[in-house]
Amino acid sequence: MSAVTPLLPLVVSVPRGFGDLLAEELRGFGALDVRERGNTVACTASLEVAYRVCLESWVASRVYLELLRFEAIDDAGIYAALRAIPWAQHIDPQFTIACEWSGRHPAIGNTHYGTLRLKDAICDALRETAGRRPDVATEQPGVRVHAHAVGTKVTVSLDLAGEGLHRRGWRGETGEAPLRENIAAGILLRAGWPRIVAAGGSFLDPLCGSGTLVIEAARMAAGFAANHRRRYFGFLQWRGHDAPLWSALCAAATARAEAGLRRWSESGRGPLQGREQDARLVREARLNASYAGVAALCDVSVGSLADATPPAGVASGLLCTNPPWGVRLGDAAGAAAVHAELGRVLRARFQGWEAAVLTGDASLGLELGLRAHRVHTVWNGALECRLLRIAVRAEAERDLKPQSGSQIDMQLAETPGAVMFANRIRKNLKQLSSWLRREQVTCFRLYDADMPEYAFAIDEYAAAESGERWLLVQEYEAPREIPPETVRRRRSEALAGLVTATGVPAQNVKLRTRRRVHRGEQYTKRDERREFHVVRENGLLFRVNFDDYLDTGLFLDHRMTRARLREAAAGKRFLNLFAYTGTATVYAAAGGAAATTTVDLSATYLDWARANLALNGFDRPQHRREQADVREWLIEADRRRERFDLIFCDPPTFSNSKRMSGVFDVQRDHVQLITQCMTLLAPGGRLVFSTNAQRFKLDEQGLERWQLRDISRPTIPPDFARNTYIHRCFEIEA
């Protein structure tokens, strides 16, 4: 009677945007009860399937084998449950371990402490049962253990991958902005590369950098296992490791790779192509292809995008690329020029091909002049990107770029759509008029997608002295099912109707296309015109900029929050964190704050804050500005025993600035951030915490030691009443 293969509970992580591809892979490997959960996929599987995921999955990041789920309300309970796990069944003390703690537990103040408690429990248990404890190694440990908390519930797992599975083991050197290998593979799968190559199609990346896409495409075409040639996995020194099973799987993968290389050579097909203008990167790409075992399948050469052509005699294929969009170029105008050149090359020379273009800025996709038949949201680390899939045909050629304000066609003002839109604008102005006059508001939200077919956010600004008016028109990205002709027509009608209804000159209409972005993205530089205007709000003066940044420098939805800060600031020591252009600091100074401290990571915005203070006569020594990563600054300020009576903290939804440590996510990290702020609060003080994260949920359990008051609704002004979730705002006191 044959033994029944035991099934293991697995949770496999994957880059955001590729969960469905991973779920399909897992089913193909033989996993059961496959359940997709955002950036993880849970399943039950045999050890062989778990090994195959590590060896063969193109998109997986980590493979976690769950050991235990438990619930504990305090530190002692957590330690006892962790220590009770039979660690000797999994860990040989002669090898090293690494431990990781993630998530939030009421008794675990930070992840570093949780990691230490996990390590202590394992080492104490093994010292008792095996007579010795393992050493700790952060890089390539013998066994990596992971614990994740959600409230009082904790899940403990072994990381069978040991480190990210994007580390295939073939990369020698990297360019300045490499694409992770499993993300590159996911892009190729999304673009249908297996289907295209099976049909005889070729491949080109005309901006290949260090070769990630072309190398992954070659390995996929030759039938390689994704992690063939990778030498390290997290299960190799695990006591549950089945070495003969693993050796058999590796041998089969090697045989498939060798057979695939022979088939390609015998077919007479030409190599897959990569082009790169930087000769240094070309050398790196060639070395990487050699390390990956596909040098014979890859032709990487020095060449410009403008000269890119299909291989001779090849009528179809996939052009797949990750053009620079500010990371490698550091220049928004240069990135736009590259996308425009790519579009010209595609239209002129690649008719009949398919294209897959990854971009981190959706507006750059408009420069291609080609309509994408599918658009996928994918994430490269913490960066939200768009994958544009294009069938390069004459009918796909479109001019999708928005018009500038000076190109508004006023001949459309009498069309039914323009008249309807103008009537809605007049209605909004009439509804707001008495409030605008009473409160002397001159900068306000006029329209916010009131009619779904006209998806714009429109703000009006007036100069403090001259009264000159501008309209900032932000067009939300249209769903892909809306034909581009419809998008263009509605935009033209709306602009013509807007000028008619408001009387604002067409040249003062500032138009941009945007996604619904995170607050952290709103600070991104767009241009370098450096044209500033001065506007007035509640008797105070502020500089705004309509061209260079994704936001103007004045968050209109925080108008009432700033007013509350002014009322509370008299005689107080005021701290403004993630201060942006320092508008809240100006309000606090106007309210009679004894001193203010303004903290932001950007020198540009601190200079802007200084200018705003000077405009209002507050550029004085008691109003100091500090350039720093806020989280690091809070730790140092506590060490200096600094204390404040009133703190305003308005963090980005997420941030991954190269100048700050790690990635900040407001939903994940707000308890720790608020806790740090509260340590600086003087007795009787108050923290005002605000966020524009659309789905933010305050962790009241993690903050239960303090008094929490939700002031979101009282801080939403009348011009934002259509969107009561524009921000969340809380007052927190000890």
Over range 618-625, report the average pLDDT: 94
Over range 190-215, report the average pLDDT: 96
pLDDT at 365: 79
Give 2's pLDDT tier (boundaries 50, 70, 90).
very low
pLDDT at 398: 67
In angstroms, the Cα distances linking 364 to 332, 343, 361, 373 are: 9, 11, 6, 16
Over range 304-318, report the average pLDDT: 92
- What's the mean pLDDT when you consider all of the chain? 90
pLDDT at 447: 95
Q: What is the pLDDT of residues 558-593, one digit of tens each?
A: 999 999 999 999 999 999 999 999 999 999 999 999
pLDDT exceeds 70 at position 199: yes
Q: Are 321 and 338 a contacting pair, CB within 8 Å?
A: no
pLDDT exceeds 80 at position 702: yes
pTM above 0.75, yes or no: no
Residues 6 or more apart from 26 whose CB is under 8 A from it?
12, 34, 41, 43, 45, 49, 53, 57
Q: Provide the 10 A C-beta neighbour count for residue 111.
A: 18
Of the candidates 151, 161, 149, the residue with the CA atom closest to the CA atom of residue 10: 161
Amino acid symbol at 514: R
pLDDT at 635: 94
pLDDT at 366: 76
Q: Provide the 10 A C-beta neighbour count for residue 417.
A: 18
Q: Which one-letter DSSP state was computed for residue 649?
A: E
pLDDT exceeds 80 at position 170: yes
Four-point Cα dihedral 549, 439, 719, 591, nearest 10: 50
pLDDT at 385: 83
Q: What is the pLDDT of residues 520-565, one digit of tens each?
A: 344 444 445 578 999 999 999 999 998 877 789 999 999 999 999 9
Q: What is the pLDDT of residues 104-163, one digit of tens each?
A: 899 997 899 999 999 999 999 999 999 999 999 989 999 999 999 999 999 999 999 999
Give 362's pLDDT tier (boundaries 50, 70, 90).
low
Q: Which domains does the chain have, with CATH numbers?
A: 1-61 (3.30.1370), 181-223+269-396 (3.40.50.150), 406-516 (3.30.750.80), 541-733 (3.40.50.150)
pLDDT exceeds 70 at position 212: yes
Pairing assessment for the beta strands 509-514 and 272-276 based on DSSP bridges: unpaired
pLDDT at 402: 55
pLDDT exceeds 90 at position 730: yes
pLDDT exceeds 50 at position 434: yes
* Sign of the CA dihedral with 721 first, then 722, 724, and 729 last: negative
Over range 451-475, report the average pLDDT: 92
The Cα 264–Cα 197 span in angstroms is 11
- CA atoms in the 13 A half-sphere facing the CB of 457: 20
Q: Are 362 and 319 a contacting pair, CB within 8 Å?
A: no
pLDDT exceeds 80 at position 403: no
The Cα 136–Cα 513 span in angstroms is 50
